[in-house]
Amino acid sequence: MKRNFVFSVLLLVFAGVHSTTLTFQEEFYAGSVTYNEEAKPGEAIFARLSIKPGKNSGKKSLPEVKSVLQLWSGGKKIENSGFYLLPQRSRKNYKEFLSGIPLSSWLKADKDYQVKILISIPESEDKELLLPFSMNDVKFIEETIDLNAKNTGIKQNMSAERLSQIEKLNKILGTVDETSVYSLKPFVKPVSSERMTAFYGDRRIFRYSNGKTETSLHYGDDYGVPEGTEVRAAQEGKVVLAEFRISTGWSVVIEHLPGLYSLYYHLSSLNVKEGDRVKSGEKIGLSGSTGLATGPHLHWEVRLNAGAVKPDFFRKNYTFEGSEN
């Protein structure tokens, strides 16, 4: 079977993302895949796959396509995520798919990594694409935070109510609904302020009021804004959680793509409810200091397949929208 591979490197200047496009030709189908060839621990890998019938297929439409994105290192599979169809970009004889996998902030840059894409189409031989990938180094802040008696009580609260809230949120963040494709555009900042008081990946030591300590990892970015500051949706999507939680106070979670969610914590009030559709930049609430907070701020977090990812990664053209796929 003839295989024709052509690599080309594209620099997406608008997005600040280095992407590689691989085109391939099989007997019954042809296609291309665009992905970010490098990232840092705490970011993500996204791949956009395009497939159409080949010249020898004799068919005008594509059968069912199944494909998977994987990250490997040292002969071991680290992450795995299926591709989902982009209905607004697909036609009868041409289909586009997207997949993303989170990169843990604990991954090491000094190891060898490889991206694999597995493609399965009926009546065709299964295909495996092996793609080079570079993990760039990053350093995270280490800090110690003193908690007063109130925040110590919240942090150590393991009541049935809090455990139920944690279970509910984890179930939401672990849900991948392949029909939930709301927007392929980059995220926007949820507040206009540039003042940040904490960052994704901060390695923390909490010192409780009783003298005990506990290590923790900060999963989002904190914006130090006054109470009552407007908080806006980072991109179009569906509100899947809007409630008061013991640890995060008034909270909102928005679903944007299958497995992709943005989270907004410690609000003073909400302007949305579960089930609402929101537009990019739409007001969803006001900032505050509810829950476990040492002062007024917005905690902005992004989850991909339940894994926390640096929010700023999604302010780039991470879906390669508008690129030549």
**Cβ 282 vs Cβ 233: under 8 Å:** yes
Under 8 Å CB-to-CB from 199, ≥6 apart: which residues?
Answer: 140, 141, 218, 221, 222
Under 8 Å CB-to-CB from 220, ≥6 apart: which residues?
Answer: 200, 263, 265, 299, 300, 301, 302, 308, 311
List residues bridging with 255 in a β-sheet.
238, 261
Please give the share of the chain, as a percent, with pLDDT higher than 90: 81
What is the per-residue pLDDT for 323? 56
201-229 tens-digit pLDDT: 999 999 999 999 999 999 999 999 999 99
254-268 tens-digit pLDDT: 999 999 999 999 999
Q: Who has greater pLDDT, 5 or 201? A: 201
Domains and CATH numbers, the chain: 6-138 (2.60.40.1930), 142-310 (2.70.70.10)
**Neighbour count for residue 11 (Cβ, 10 Å):** 10
Assign 270 to helix, strand or coil. Answer: strand
Assign 275 to helix, strand or coil. Answer: coil
Strand order in the sheet with 213-217: 142-146, 203-207, 213-217
74-126 tens-digit pLDDT: 999 999 999 999 987 877 788 999 999 999 999 999 899 999 999 998 878 89
284-322 tens-digit pLDDT: 999 999 999 999 999 999 999 999 999 999 999 999 997
Q: What is the mean pLDDT of residues 28-36?
A: 92
| Span between the terminal Cα atoms of the chain, in Å | 24
Which amino acid does the sequence have at 195? R
**Number of alpha carbons in the 13 Å side-chain half-sphere of residue 118:** 12
Task: Evaluate if residue 4 carries a pLDDT over 50.
Answer: no
Q: How far apart are CA 325 and CA 320, in angstroms?
A: 8
pTM of the model: 0.92
What is the per-residue pLDDT for 12? 45
Interior CA angle at 301 toward 319 and 12, to 5°? 25
Query: Strands 84-85 and 95-102, how do they pair?
Result: antiparallel
